[in-house]
Structure 1
Amino acid sequence: MQIIQHETFGELIRHCREEKNLPLRKVAAVLDVDTSTLSKMEKNLRHPNREHIEKLAELFGLNTEELRLAFLSDRVAYQLAQEPISEQVLRVAEEKIKYIRSKNIVQGVLEF
């Protein structure tokens, strides 16, 4: 399954769960969370951790990196959605990421 770029992370998880006819409780059990937490993830009110993303990718047969991309891009999009200069912010942020990475590599440390 290819991840749809315009779908939020929560919508994607709900779509995958419903496509496999899995109730909230079964997916929540795999994640070791309660059903209300998973429901909030599907509504984009709670954020999964890295382990949750890995388990969801495995459960739904998705690429872990693509699922992380869907989650992280949501975080950025929600943060910038109401900002009138969001496209400019993204361009500047991309350049800053390159700068930070090059600076950290030169120093021999890549910190996140």
Structure 2
Amino acid sequence: MEHIEFVALYRGKKLNLAYNVKKASKVFCDAFPEHGLSWLMQKFIKLRQNVYLLGFLALMCLLSPWKGLVFIVAIYALCQLGAEKMIRRYIEDNMVSNEKFYQAMIQNQVVFIAKHD
């Protein structure tokens, strides 16, 4: 699929994008080293991986008398999930606006694009 067709379908909301955020972030950092976002993206990815650990800790805290800690851990986990949503939005916006990044995502087979009516 050509970039122009991709942009038209994306703006018309006639396609589904499926990709791994970790791989897509790595492709983004490799394609645009001048942006200086590689450190930030890698931090978000690492924190996202720790959400599972935080969920386990929250379960353990539920069994303990410190209920306030459960609230803090839950807020932190929700913030990390919000960070992933922000990264996804940033990656999709860059795929639409930059053909170089779009081609890098296709070449590395990171993104799966499905058209729908």
TM-score by length of 2: 0.29
Q: Which has the higher helix share?
A: 2
Structure 1 or 2, whichever has the larger Rg, is 2
Q: Which has the higher strand share?
A: 2
Instruction: Choose between structure 1 and 2 for higher RCO, CA contacts under 8 A separated by at least 6 residues.
Output: 2
TM-score by length of 1: 0.29
